[in-house]
Structure 1
């Protein structure tokens, strides 16, 4: 994998990690601030956070694999 491709993967990992952090923050805000009024939103918000973390992990694993092949 070229240096440019690895830099692109690093950018993707950073972006996905940021998105996962945002989704985790959404879940935290729901639990901390709106739990009693919006508790039925927990499954959807949790799933969004989980999916964002899985997307980050998948891309991070791809980056780690590319770096180890160098």
Structure 2
């Protein structure tokens, strides 16, 4: 694979990590500032956080595989 592929995947990983961090911050804010009154928001915010972290893990795994493949080709 080309360096452009790795660079594009690195960009996706950074974006996915940023989004996951934002969702985690939303969950943290809910716990720290709005519970127990806003308990009904837990499932929605937790699901969004989980999905964002899952997306990051998928893209990051692809990047690691690609980097390992490139390293073995060298």
Structure 2 unaligned spans of 5+: none
Question: How does the TM-score come out when normalised to structure 2?
Answer: 0.92
Q: How far does residue 36 in structure 1 lie from its aligned partner after superposition?
A: 2.2
Q: How far does residue 37 in structure 1 lie from its aligned partner after superposition?
A: 2.1
Highest Rg: 1 or 2? 2
Structure 1 unaligned spans of 5+: none
Question: How does the TM-score come out when normalised to structure 1?
Answer: 0.97
Taking only aligned residues, the RMSD between alpha carbons, in angstroms, comes to 0.6
| Total equivalences in the alignment | 70
The corresponding residue for 1:45 is 45
